[in-house]
Amino acid sequence: MSNHEWDPSAFAALIRAMGARNESAYAEVDGERTIDVPAQAVRGRTGSLGKTFSGYFDLLDGTIRINCAEDSAFWLEIDIGAIPGLASAPGGHDASAARDDFVRSAQDNVPAQE
């Protein structure tokens, strides 16, 4: 194998090692808007063999992106706001929208002080 060929198993080992060192493979991860989802936190497989998965959680848009280290064609994105039980939970998108609507309504109905 030449130095220019991609070795999926070596890349997967690198991703696992980075996760063990608390390092992220993603430039998007800043620890504030986006947080790392290390390989140690994800289990899965494509086909009959286990694979290495890692990704990141975008707190601003509420999505989790998971990629497969050995197979770049495989990825998974989860939209937390589209899960009803989570969207309605405290801090969720629907709960926040309901709170904002309630606050606006309450402010609109406050009697004027004389």
What digits encode the pLDDT tens for the residues 12-49? Answer: 999 999 999 999 989 889 999 999 999 999 998 877 78
The residue range of the domain holding 45 is: 1-81
Q: Give per-residue pLDDT as tens, 46-68.
A: 777 889 999 999 988 889 999 99
List Cβ neighbours of 32 (8 Å cut-off, separation of 6 or more). 59
pLDDT for residue 76 is more than 80:
yes
The pLDDT value recorded for residue 4 is 67
How many domains does one find in the chain? 2
Same domain, residue pair 45 and 91: no
Same domain, residue pair 87 and 75: no
CA neighbor of 26 nearest in space, from 53, 64, 56, 52: 56
Same domain, residue pair 61 and 98: no
